[in-house]
Amino acid sequence: MNDSFTIQISRSASIMMGVAILICLAACDSVGGIGGSKRAPITRAEAVATWSLTDSENELFNVILSADGSAVDTWWKGDDGAKGERGRWELVDGTIDIRFNSGWRDVISRSSLGYDKHGYPPGLAPGAGPSKDPINSGDAVKVSGDDLRFVGIWIIPGALAGPKYELYAALRSDGMAMKSIDAINQGTWQIESGVAHLYWADGWNTTIEPMDDGTFFAKSWKPGAAMSEMPTGSNGVRRVMK
């Protein structure tokens, strides 16, 4: 056997080994091992989380999926604004199928690098309506860290009693915020020493602080007031979970 023939065998073996590695890597994310074509289904434990998704304009919003099957999102472009949307979710064929009261439907599935999200408007859900193609698609990412405690929709009581005086505040995981009152209703938020600080564009400031008993407490300061001063208002608050 000459050197040229030996080199050819060596190269062929290397190529075959590389192909085998690629097949193995592809199978690691599949059901049934090597030769399997279906990705591992998403489990219920995986699904119960706070997710970051994007809409048709590639703008981020969050959806909170609870163990009881309820879903709440921070998509504030709808009729309810900062109140977000409500809905239900379930596992269907290894995917997370979220159906909102507005008729919109988001489906989260496992991808080779994590999770994908496909969005369907009313009447265009998979297998129904004139088309089963999603109107938008993108990555789905789980929110982690301290943000988990604060991302979502919050109800902050007003100075006067009664639901009509309540303020809704939507906090997104990208640091953007919106409230349900005032003409200038957008702002930003960040976590400082374990407390969420909301800085509104109209000059108001709000903090949401977790208490030792698991509840949350909010304080607000009117425009021009220093946050070192007595707050303009304070009260217990709660995050909307259904």
CATH of domain 44-143: 2.40.128
CATH number of 146-239: 2.40.128
Q: Tokens representing 132?
A: 């089963």
Domains 44-143 and 146-239 share a fold: yes
Q: What average pLDDT does range 96-102 have in this prediction?
A: 96
Average pLDDT over residues 207-217: 97
**Contacts of residue 174, Cβ cutoff 8 Å, sequence gap at least 6:** 52, 60
CA separation for the pair 198, 175 (Å, rounded): 9
For residue 24, list its beta bridge partners.
Answer: none
Measured CA to CA, the distance from residue 171 to residue 151 in angstroms comes to 5
What residues does each domain of the chain span? 1-36, 44-143, 146-239
What's residue 146's pLDDT?
93
Query: What proportions of the chain, in percent to the nearest 5, are helix, strand and coil?
Result: 15, 40, 45
- Whose CA is closest to 56, among 104, 127, 111? 104
State how far the Cα of 113 lies from the Cα of 221, in Å rounded to an integer.
Answer: 44
More confident residue, 34 or 224: 224
Q: What pLDDT, in 10s, does the model give residues 117-166?
A: 999 999 877 777 666 789 999 999 999 999 999 999 999 987 555 566 78
